């Protein structure tokens, strides 16, 4: 849905997770405020947070971290050995993350309207590539939340971010900084 201002600026309102369609702004607001169950999967290389939001509340969750070695300044054989170790640790973390996602999300998959992901795309993709999570992965939205290290507090704040209406504003060419009230003259 696109709104156009008198000066030519546009605001593109995108549907929030779990909302199929809205013909008017009023419908969009009504749908966005409606209670819906969302799955949440936040992941970074060594951490995962999985939850279920019912409306604005997080009703189930699990957060876990794994040690994944950082990059080293070593060269030669040591560098290759550390890279293999880091890769193996990341694979183990993704496997454990898939297990957690399966325990939290799979029993509720039929009641979820969407799966909202966040964090590092490659870590999320690695988790969702597990064959047992095929039904969960099918609910994944395109939007990826930008989140720091997945922790419980981050998962709680991701509920409102997942329910939000993303808005993309486009200024008309040459109008940047010259809008009334912008403080620029």
- The residues facing 168 across adjacent strands are 12
Which of helix, strand or coil describes residue 158?
A: helix
Could you tell me which CATH number the domain at 37-163 has? 3.30.420.60
- Report CA-CA distances (Å) from 126 to 41, 43, 62, 101: 12, 10, 18, 12
HSE-CB at 94 with a 13 A cutoff on CA atoms is 20
pLDDT values of the chain reduced to their tens digit, one per residue, 185 residues? 888 888 889 989 888 888 887 888 888 888 888 889 999 999 987 789 999 999 999 999 999 876 555 555 555 556 666 666 666 666 666 778 888 999 999 999 999 999 999 998 988 999 999 999 999 999 999 989 999 888 899 999 999 999 988 888 999 886 555 455 444 43
pLDDT reported for residue 37: 94
pLDDT reported for residue 59: 94
HSE-CB at 136 with a 13 A cutoff on CA atoms is 29
Q: In the chain, where are the structural domains located?
A: 37-163
Question: For 68-93, how does the pLDDT look when each residue is reduced to its tens digit (9 = 90+)?
Answer: 555 555 555 566 666 666 666 666 66
- The residues facing 137 across adjacent strands are none
Please state the three-class secondary structure of 11-42 as a single string. Answer: EEECCCCCCCCCCCHHHHHHHHHCCCEEEEEE
pLDDT reported for residue 23: 84
pLDDT reported for residue 183: 40
């Amino acid at each position: 849905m696109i709104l156009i201002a008198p000066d030519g600026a546009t605001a593109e309102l995108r549907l929030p997770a779990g909302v199929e369609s809205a013909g008017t702004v009023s419908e969009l607001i009504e749908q966005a405020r409606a209670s819906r169950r969302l799955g949440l999967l936040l992941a970074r290389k060594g951490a995962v947070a999985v939850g279920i939001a019912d409306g604005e509340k997080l009703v189930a969750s699990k957060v876990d971290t794994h040690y994944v070695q950082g990059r080293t300044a070593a060269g030669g054989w040591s560098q290759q050995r550390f890279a293999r170790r880091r890769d193996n640790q990341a694979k183990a973390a993704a496997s454990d993350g898939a297990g957690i996602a399966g325990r939290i999300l799979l029993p509720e998959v039929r009641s979820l309207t969407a799966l909202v992901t966040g964090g590092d795309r490659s870590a999320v993709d690695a988790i969702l590539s597990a064959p047992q999570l095929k039904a969960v992965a099918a609910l994944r939205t395109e939007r990826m939340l930008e989140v720091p290290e997945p922790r419980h507090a981050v998962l709680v704040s991701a509920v409102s971010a997942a329910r939000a209406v993303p808005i993309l504003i486009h200024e008309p060419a040459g109008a940047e900084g010259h809008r009334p009230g912008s403080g620029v003259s």
